[in-house]
Structure 1
Amino acid sequence: MNQLAALNRPDVERVVRDILAKKLNGATPAAAAPGAANPLVVNISARHCHLTTEHVQILFGKDDLTPQKDLYQDGYYAAEETVMVVGPRKRMIPNVRVLGPCRGDSQVELAFTDSISLGIDIPVRISGDVEGSAPCILVGPKGVVELKQGVIRAMRHVHMGPADLAHYGVQNGDKMHLRVESPGCTTVLEDMVVRAGEKIKLEVHLDTDEGNAIDLVNATRVELIQPAPCQCSH
């Protein structure tokens, strides 16, 4: 079996995300805390890509994506369309899911192990910050797109609406900690970037590597923690 093909498990990762959402939604400390607008949901964000309308036309020969399944955030969805991501050494990852709706810049979000498979150096970035990031080639059923930049590893982050910002006492761009209790693997992930927006549900996004490392699928408790102010002496 091709080693790269064995790594490509979008259907398995989708099932894992569904299980996590059902298991953690409403059962976390944040969900029970008075005044919290939303339950805390922690989801694994498997490898995926975002496309411009122009690139959808080139890759699939049509003007828009076909929604397959709604994501946790309202208005966002996993599309039926997938692409092959090809690295500069002709290594490739097939069947990378496209997420909609279309964006102003095409972007591919991969995990660290994916970067090893492709043989490219992928920077850790906030989604949308693609300037100077890694290149790749996208192959669809109708055409090919060469991205000069746009391949990133998404920085771990938490989406928050206005009520969530007020509840936790944070602002857009702040960093928090995520404490995850799993059997024999309790872990605190630092540098969880706050991404604020209107009509946003409280949701943490980790990539596949991070989720596997902390045994997130078996987590029994998750908690967002605001870091204590530095007490360093000068």
Structure 2
Amino acid sequence: MLTAPAKPHRAEIEHAVRRLLYQRLGRPTPRAAQAPRPLLVNVSARHCHLTPEAVETLFGKGHELTPMKALYQEGQYAAKESVTLIGPRSRVISNLRILGPCRDLNQVELAYTDAISLGFDIPVRASGDIAGTPGCMLMGPAGFLELPEGVIRAAPHVHMHPTDAEFYGFKPGSFARLKIDGPVGMTFDRILVRVSPDFKLEVHIDTDEGNACGLGPDTPCQLLP
């Protein structure tokens, strides 16, 4: 089981320092600095979530995912294991990363350009809402797994702790706007709000969306009603 990093994320340290500086200088604290947590906007590359049974089918009886890299959300990680995805045109994506821990359903998340190259017509869905979505074939070192459904383009979404949701005035299932600054800045109008006591404030967009807005590590971003 992978434990969360002991030291805070860089963004959390910068957020605390920024608030302290405004206090020391006696200046009004901007709204973004008043927020309980810093806003992180991360690009979520194509990946899949698997059940324990699926992992055993693909990697062998008794196999468990091996944590490789901790993600920002507590307890979530990129696993060392990856699979090959076979699309309807027999085109493949190799080294499709598995994210852990295991879930109670199998789900593949692709960007729009991934879907085009593979021959998929996939809907934009919230994670877990896979009814009626296309399926695919996954190949691992120990076998094949045919998924009857579960291939989606993940809806852009924000993870929020209840205190974040209260601060920004959002409710679970509502939509926020995300303003991206920079040379090719733009605003996303439908960022799905997900709220849980286990979440830290983080927006996920896919690789197509991140490339379109020129998102970088220091790109200023704002959450808006």
Regarding TM over 0.5, the answer is: yes
| TM-score normalized by the length of structure 2 | 0.86
Cα distance change of structure 1 residues 99 and 170 upon mapping to structure 2, 3 Å threshold? same
Change (3 A) 1:190 1:30: farther
In 1, distance between residues paired with 2:72 and 2:170? 22
State the 1:64 CA deviation: 1.4
In the alignment, the residues of structure 1 paired with residue 87 and residue 189 of structure 2 have an alpha-carbon distance, to the nearest angstrom, of 30
**How much does 1:71 deviate?**
0.4
Task: State the alpha-carbon separation in 2 of the partners of residues 120 and 192 from structure 1.
Answer: 24
Matched with 2:81 is 81
Kindly report which structure 2 residues correspond to 1:18-29, keeping only aligned pairs within 5 A, or say none.
26=14
Task: Give, in whole Å, the separation in 1 of the partners of 2:30 and 2:158.
Answer: 13
Question: Are 1:210 and 2:218 an aligned pair?
Answer: no
Match of 2:106 in 1: 106
CA distances 1:181-226 after superposition (whole Å, capped 9, x unpaired): 11x2121111000011112100000000000000002653100001
Q: Is 1:198 aligned to 2:190, yes or no?
A: no
Q: Determine whether 1:170 maps to 2:170.
A: yes
Return the alpha-carbon distance in structure 1 between the equivalents of residues 198 and 12 of structure 2: 21
**Cα gap change, 1:39/1:123 in structure 2, threshold over 3 Å: closer, same or farther?**
same
Q: Give the greater-gyration-radius structure (CA).
A: 2
Q: Which amino acid aligns with 1:214?
A: C
**TM-aligned CA distance change 1:31 to 1:40, over 3 Å:** farther
| CA displacement, residues 91-135 of structure 1 (integer Å, 9 cap, x when unaligned) | 110000000000110000000000011101011000111111111
Call closer, same or farther: CA 1:190–1:88 in 2, change over 3 Å: same
What one-letter code is carried by the residue in structure 1 that aligns with 2:79? A
Equivalent pair of 1:122/1:152 in contact (CA under 8 Å): yes
Mind listing any 5+ residue stretches in structure 1 that lack a counterpart? 1-20, 227-234
* 3-state SS, counterpart of residue 223 of structure 1: strand
Structure 1 stretches of 4+ with a deviation exceeding 2 A read 21-33
> Post-superposition shift, 1:22?
5.3
Distance 2:121 2:155 in 1: 15
Conserved 8 A contact 1:85-1:92? yes
Name the Cα RMSD after superposition.
Answer: 2.0
Q: Secondary structure at the match of 2:37?
A: coil
- Cα gap change, 1:24 to 1:225, in 2 (>3 Å): farther
CA distance in 1, matches of 2:67, 2:128: 21
Report the 3-state secondary structure (helix = DSSP H, G, I; strand = E; otherwise coil) of the residue aligned with 1:176.
Answer: strand
C-alpha distance in 1, partners of 2:154/2:81?
21
Counterpart secondary structure, 2:53: helix
1:132 and 2:109 aligned: no
Partner of 2:149: 149
**Separation in 2 of the partners of 1:110 and 1:55?**
19
Which amino acid in the other structure matches residue 148 of structure 1? P
Q: Which amino acid aligns with 1:175?
A: F
